[in-house]
Amino acid sequence: MVVELHGSMGSRSPLINWFLEERSIPYEMKPPRPSNHPFGQVPFLVDGDVEVFESGAILLYLADKYDTACDTPEKRALVTKWVVWANASLDPICFAENERGQVIGTRLDQPGRAISVLEDMLATKDYLVGDQLSASYLNYVPVFFAQVDLSETPAMHLAKPTQMLLPPL
């Protein structure tokens, strides 16, 4: 069975595409609407009888099912902590919203501690968890920072995903 991904370029759907491509998981792109997402948003994933919404939850589900990076509770915890952190702490920096919840820009001109911590970690290793691309890494991938001067954060600028091509939606 082929995974179905409802998504768009203007969402976190490309992160899911990237993970699916990296793991050679067969999938089919579907339009953002209609989907069964309870809030009518994307990304939204259908894998047989399983329906998952929210990018972090989708990445964790796919990692559990298709990736050895989460094959023990200890490894899963390493990945989960970064996925949850990125969704809770990094998203507000990357996606500035108005009072109606619409994305109107970024706050990347005021990155603060979040970016410096990532920079420090990536200065000593290529990935946040393990030695390969994982759900934890994709959740902060520098594609979010494409319009930002990262010259003062060379480790983030040189992060491995910047060398990969994002598959088209």
pLDDT tens, position by position, 77-126: 888 888 888 878 777 776 667 777 666 666 666 667 777 787 787 788 77
Structure tokens at 35: 């989907």
CATH of domain 3-66: 3.40.30.10
Mean predicted lDDT score pLDDT of the chain: 77
Q: 74: how many CB neighbours lie within 10 A of its CB?
A: 8
Report the predicted TM-score, pTM, of the whole model to 2 decimal places.
Answer: 0.76
Region(s) of the chain under CATH 1.20.1050.10:
69-163
How big is the chain by its Cα radius of gyration, in Å? 16
Region(s) of the chain under CATH 3.40.30.10:
3-66
The enclosing H or E element of 50 equals strand 50-53
Residue 48's closest CA among 11, 83, 1, 111?
Answer: 1
**CB contact at 8 A, 98 and 52:** no
Question: How large is the average pLDDT for residues 55-74?
Answer: 87
CATH of domain 69-163: 1.20.1050.10
